[in-house]
């Protein structure tokens, strides 16, 4: 693996904490670590809340446990919230984590409009607890999930981590920007190597049911009508789950270097990267491919009348018309750019959907 200008971090033989597992990304990352690591311990922490059906999270957890049966790595699942400061501190004190990947957060742009309290509890106080624990029980690398939502209504494309992100259009986006600021402060004050990852519209098998592609599949299966926002004039930089996990896996093993600036003062060991497909897809095209793959997988019948099951509507509050990732920095520093296209990704999702729901 190519890593440029980073401090090598080897998780083997140590303890790794992944919060937000068995969430969508967290579960996929833990399975990857169980496959790649040769020794050590992986601790999964998740509250198993009911933001969406707990049964799907339990299914993902069962997949993790199945993978752990043949792995040389020990896996420990702890049910709890990162907002529980005492629990977080106890885990750090017990395991002395070498690497922490914080994926736990209250997700969803639209949900944040009606449920702001849970975002402050999980995304702000929860992440603060993680940072405090890293301060008192030093880690070699803290990797945390940010979001493309921080770019708000940015007119310049593609979105670069060099762009100003001072105008979020949802509370969810504001909490993610706040996480980046807090991480920068802790990196500077306490010399904690921190890397934030701005994910762009993650999708794939066993994903989040509140995401458009998943909810659209369910609606079509129920003979309902899907709503396509901004009258179809939306573009998203969809990123397949395997690409996201590959990016996280590479980043967690290369931490920002501790160094001294020209003024003689320490430079915060801090970095932020985009992880996105790098090719925005029109939402109508995305829906067309999804429909074709649902038919091919046998989820929907041949000859399904798609035109009768979709409605073009206006933009929703807190949403943006376009996302597009500039991932050149990820390619430069870690030798990786997401490569899986929507046809391959939606085919995998559709086949999983057929198997999971029968």
Q: Which residues contact 344 (CB under 8 A, 6 or more apart)?
A: 240
Q: H/E/C letters for each residue in 271-311?
A: EEEEECCCCCEEHHHHHHHHHHHHHHCCCCCCCCCCHHHEE
Query: Which helix (H) or strand (E) segment is 316 a member of?
Result: none
Residue 247: closest CA among 122, 178, 337: 337
Assess contact for 143 and 99: CB atoms under 8 A: yes
178: how many CB neighbours lie within 10 A of its CB? 17
CA atoms of 132 and 136, how far apart (whole Å): 6
**311: which strand partners?**
227
Residue 294: closest CA among 231, 349, 236: 349
Q: Which residues contact 335 (CB under 8 A, 6 or more apart)?
A: 1, 2, 3, 4, 250
Question: Is 172 a known active-site residue?
Answer: yes
Assess contact for 109 and 211: CB atoms under 8 A: no
165: how many CB neighbours lie within 10 A of its CB? 19
| The two structure tokens encoding residue 286 | 């995305």
Backbone angles phi, psi at 306, to 5 degrees: -70, -35
Residue 272: closest CA among 356, 179, 134: 179
Catalytic residue, chosen from 172, 240, 273, 334, is: 172
Q: Judging by beta carbons within 10 Å of its beta carbon (0-12, 13-18, 19+), is residue 222 exposed, middle or buried?
A: exposed
| The two structure tokens encoding residue 303 | 């000859």
DSSP strands (E only) in 140-224 = 141-147, 194-199, 202-203
- Give me the active site residues, please: 172
């Amino acid at each position: 693996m190519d890593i440029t200008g980073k401090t090598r971090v080897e998780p083997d033989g140590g303890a790794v904490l992944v919060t937000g597992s068995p969430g969508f990304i967290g579960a996929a990352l833990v399975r990857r670590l169980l496959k790649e690591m040769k020794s050590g311990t992986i601790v999964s922490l998740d509250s198993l809340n009911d933001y969406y059906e707990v049964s799907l999270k339990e299914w993902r957890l069962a997949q993790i446990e199945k993978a752990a049966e043949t792995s040389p790595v020990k896996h420990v699942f702890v049910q709890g919230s990162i907002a529980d400061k005492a629990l977080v501190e106890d885990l750090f004190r017990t395991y002395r984590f070498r690497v922490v990947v914080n994926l736990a957060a209250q997700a969803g742009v639209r949900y944040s409009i009606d449920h702001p309290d849970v975002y402050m509890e999980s995304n702000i106080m929860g992440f603060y607890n993680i940072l405090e624990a890293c301060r008192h029980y030093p880690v070699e690398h803290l990797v945390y999930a940010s979001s493309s939502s921080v770019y708000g209504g940015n007119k310049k494309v593609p979105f670069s981590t060099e762009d100003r992100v001072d105008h979020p259009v949802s509370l969810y986006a504001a909490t993610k920007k706040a996480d980046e600021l807090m991480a920068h402060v802790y990196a500077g004050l306490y010399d904690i190597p921190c890397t934030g990852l701005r994910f762009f519209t993650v999708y794939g098998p066993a994903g989040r049911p509140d995401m458009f592609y998943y909810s659209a599949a369910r609606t079509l299966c129920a003979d309902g009508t899907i709503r396509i926002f901004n009258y179809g004039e939306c573009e998203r930089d969809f990123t397949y789950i395997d690409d996201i996990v590959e990016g996280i896996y590479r980043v967690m093993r290369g931490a920002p270097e501790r160094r001294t600036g020209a003024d003689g003062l320490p430079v915060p060991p801090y970095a932020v990267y985009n992880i996105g497909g790098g090719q925005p897809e029109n939402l109508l095209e995305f829906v067309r491919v999804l429909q074709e793959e649902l038919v091919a997988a046998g989820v929907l019948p041949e000859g399904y009348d798609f035109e009768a099951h979709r409605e073009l509507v206006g933009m929703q509050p807190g949403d943006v018309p376009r996302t597009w990732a500039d991932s050149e920095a990820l390619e430069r520093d870690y030798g990786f750019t997401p490569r899986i296209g929507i046809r391959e990704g939606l085919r995998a999702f559709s086949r999983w959907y057929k198997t999971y729901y029968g």
